[in-house]
Structure 1
Amino acid sequence: MAIFCDPQTRTRDSENAFRMELLEDVSLKRMLYEKPDTLKPPRTDVLLVTPWLAPIVWDGSFNIDILNAQFHQRHVRIGLTVFAIKKYIVFMKPLLETAEKFFMVGHKVNYYVFTDRAKEMPNITLANGRQLEVLEVPSYKRWQDVSMRRMEMIRDYSQKKFINEVDYLVCVDADMKFMDEVGVEILSDVFGTLHRAFYGASRTQFPNERRKASAAYIPPDEGDFYYSGSIFGGTVEGVHKLTNFCHHEMLTDKENNIEAIWHDESYLNKYFLYHKPTKVLSAEYHWENYPGVGTIIKKKRFVLIRKNDTAIRNK
């Protein structure tokens, strides 16, 4: 009996076989570490997994050595995006200097700084395998416009640039600094971060958009967590989907003369409600030096820099 193959199928099979030949052999190195105990969870004082089985990353819930080995095998490159518009340029020195000390140490990193003041960028010494690129963008009259336009710009650059240069994107606010290790434990298809002020709050306490006319509207009886707009990310494809959604919802509201209560953060929370993140970062990754936090926050990894908002935002 003769068997005939579709020429297109045969071509696809040949291409797939060729790609497999190009893959490097995976060399597994011996690692010694304490055996996980199924009867002894690493922490019992906090929620470690969401109802949709996404891990919630707290100190003590992961072994960074195992994770580093896995990500090194994949030769990943991580991009960090930040917007330094107007006077926010003053935050680039502490952000980048602390990132070199604590962010993705030992991995390849591309810093992407969007700014209207390229000439004021500080000179930062970078470790091997890490590079800084300044992307010049126009200024905006209001800080709210800067906050919301970043979704559009991250979306556009993800499609035409980032997809060709990095595997993951971490998108952060400028007025933050790293105070402890932030590594590959945060990486996933798409991740959100618990807001420092609402990680223990009820749904009715979340500052979501409550006007039904807004595209960012979330009913008071819905919501898993309240996510910060100060740090989010994922694969380039995952971030593109997130930012594209937020941008289009903003345009919808703009046509109706509506501006969501917390701007891009409101749309981010709407997205994560109906497109669940595959990983959630604890408030360790979005903190401020509050007194009296007890023992829940064991490490303050990514921290807000206190500032005079009026003096910085609109000048």
Structure 2
Amino acid sequence: MCADKWINELWKRKHHIFILIILLFVFWLSWHTYSGRMWIPSLSFYCSLNFDHVRKDGSYLDHLLEIRLPRMNYSQPNIMNPPRTDVLVMTPWFAPIIWDGTFSTDILNQQFKQRDVRVGLTLFAIKKYVVFLQLFLETAEKFFMVGYKVNYYVLTDRPEAVPNVTLKEGRSVVVLKTQSNARWQDISMRRMEMISLFAKKQFIGEVDYIVCVDVDMKFSDHVGVEILSDVFGTLHPGFYKGQRQRFTYERRSESQAYIASDEGDFYYAGGFFGGTVEEVYKLTNHCSHAILTDKANGIEAIWHDESHLNKYLLTHKPTKILSPEYLWDNNMGVPEILKKRRFVAVPKNHNQIRNK
């Protein structure tokens, strides 16, 4: 009886239902276009998100950013007289090695400023390492990416200790709260995990490149866009002249950081690496998982995150390499090939700083 009554009510409203069906069909038809044997969505916003459709169409090519250099006066490159013959300036995989005299700051600035490049600089100020922040930030404002937008990402367990430093326009200090660890080795290894997490969560929407450095350092000369590339590493000041057999790679095959004695290009420093946000995410995420795998297997790489960085850059060749100018310790003297000391270690007593 109830079913009969419900059917009668529907029959009385059949005209309304019919109109509703027609409206739904018209809306669906406007949303889709018939192509071949199937109906596909065709609203304009869908097309803008459908990368395959855009690439096949090719219309996006008409809107690419054009980088055009203005008229400039500079010395002509001389094929027969290279600027540096005392050092290696190119790897076998055609990645440049950046030394003083091998680049033009003026030309590079003209290119990168047209792209409105934004750079993020990550530094870990855990426990007593916050004491280095003042000098680091003050010297960075003087020498690091001058004229560009910069976010200083300070990862610290003591946000209240971050100093208030006067910054130029377009530059800011972003404090990211993080936990500490009992051992300095664990603090060092967690850097990979934290950088990968924030790269995915925050950096990707705020900057184009990420530069990852140690905080117990100071800038003492120009460090600019000449360092930027998809992924870059820095030659370790203690091993840049060494043979691969003498590098302090992780030599135990049980570790994810293992490198055999007959392998290796260079020994890269854990205190200065970077690249695009996407590439830095891939690098740090890979190293983070490798560190966790080692931990699960009861092994710890000899030089912690630096060991895993070296393994990654062996199997994923960097697209640019920075010379020891970009990471130096003045206690090692000043070799003749070192024309600049751009980023140098601050003298300290490690025993008084670590694990405090």
In the superposition, the TM-score normalised over structure 1's length comes to 0.94
Separation in 2, partners of 1:17, 1:142: 54
Which of residues 264, 272, 275 in structure 2 aligns to 1:231? 272
In the TM superposition, 1:102-121 aligns within 5 A as 102-121=143-162
Question: Would the aligned equivalents of 2:69 and 2:111 in 1 still touch at CA under 8 Å?
Answer: no
Map of 1:200 onto structure 2: 241
Structure (1 or 2) with the greater helix fraction = 2
- Given that 2:54 and 2:60 are in contact with CA atoms closer than 8 Å, whether structure 1 keeps it comes out as no
CA distance 1:60–1:271, shift in 2 (3 Å): same
The residue aligned with 1:311 is: 352
Report the alpha carbon displacement of residue 39 of structure 1 after superposing the two structures with TM. 1.1
Q: Normalization by structure 2: what TM-score?
A: 0.84
Aligned counterpart, 1:182: 223
The change in CA–CA distance for 1:265 and 1:24 in structure 2 (over 3 A counts) is closer
Amino acid paired to 2:192 = M
Aligned to 1:70: 111
Structure 1 counterpart SS, 2:132: helix
Which runs of structure 2 are paired with 1:27-176 in the superposition (5 Å)?
A: 28-176=69-217
Deviation at 1:17, TM superposition (A): 6.7
Quote the residue 1:278 is aligned against: 319
Change (3 A) 1:287 1:125: same
Q: Which runs of 5+ in 2 are unaligned?
A: 1-34, 48-52
| Partner Cα distance (1:268, 1:208) in 2 | 10
Matched, 1:264 2:305: yes
- Please, which moves more after superposition, 284-293 or 38-47? 284-293
Work out the CA distance in 1 between the residues paired with 2:332 and 2:68: 47
Q: Per the alignment, do residues 8 and 271 of structure 1 end up closer, same or farther by CA in structure 2, a change over 3 Å counting?
A: farther
> 1:290 aligned to 2:344?
no
1:260 offset after TM fit, Å? Answer: 0.5
Q: Give CA-to-partner distance per residue, 1:125-169, whole Å, 9 cap, x none.
A: 000111111001111111111100110010011111100000000
Contact 2:67 2:111 in 1 (8 A): no
How far, CA to CA, are the matches of 1:64 and 1:14 in structure 2? 35
Query: Matched residue pairs, number?
Result: 312
Q: Residues 213 and 99 of structure 1: is their aligned pair in 2 closer, same or farther, counting only changes over 3 Å?
A: same
Instruction: Give the letter for the 1:197 counterpart.
Output: G
Distance 1:37 1:26, change over 3 A: closer
Unaligned runs of at least 5 residues, structure 1: none
Q: What RMSD, in angstroms, separates the aligned Cα atoms of the two structures?
A: 2.0
